[in-house]
Amino acid sequence: MPVELVVLHNISLPPGRFGGPGVEQLFTNRIDPDQHPFYREIAGLRVSAHFFLRRDGTLVQFVSCRQRAWHAGVSRWRGREKCNDFSIGIEIEGTDERPYTQRQYARLRGLVALLAAAFPSIGGVAGHSEIAPGRKTDPGPSFDWARFMREAGVPRAWRAP
């Protein structure tokens, strides 16, 4: 199915901590429930994302953009359900409350430009909160959508409902 959407998320493992191996362990099904009490709650999850963007701007790819990742869960965008089927998921290391870094915005800007060039079928970018309202809040109020849209040169229509 053509890629039509880019979904932005945030993640930190353990919650509120940055820089450790937790996210990569989660997305590769290697999380150790004994490393942190929160990990016991998520040890059975089978989730993935196409990309993980660390605080320092380092980009890690877990899933090919031509394959489905399990990042959106129960979701809906422009009347279509099951966003995993037609989207690329980008997990940004962060929380709803803490501002994202300059390096993250710069790398995200470049990544989205590359994705748009590789997949002309992309017609939108949304937060997880927008495709799963009431269930998810990320990338959260700390994500500066206006800045991202302006700097990335994302077409205005990409953010239309």
Give the position of tokens 């037609």.
86
Q: Which DSSP helix (H) or strand (E) runs through 106? A: helix 102-118
Over residues 141-150, mean pLDDT: 95
Indicate whether 56 pLDDT > 80.
yes
To the question of domain 5-159 being in CATH 3.40.80.10, the answer is yes
Q: What is the pTM of this model?
A: 0.96
Q: What is the pLDDT of residues 102-144, one digit of tens each?
A: 999 999 999 999 999 999 999 999 999 999 999 999 999 999 9
Indicate whether 48 pLDDT > 90.
yes
Domain boundaries, the chain: 5-159
| Spatial separation of the C-alpha atoms in residues 154 and 109, rounded to whole Å | 9
Q: How many CA atoms lie within 13 A of 106 on its CB side?
A: 7
| Spatial separation of the C-alpha atoms in residues 62 and 5, rounded to whole Å | 18
Indicate whether 161 pLDDT > 70.
no
Q: Point out the residues that are catalytic.
A: 91
Q: Which DSSP helix (H) or strand (E) runs through 81? A: strand 80-81
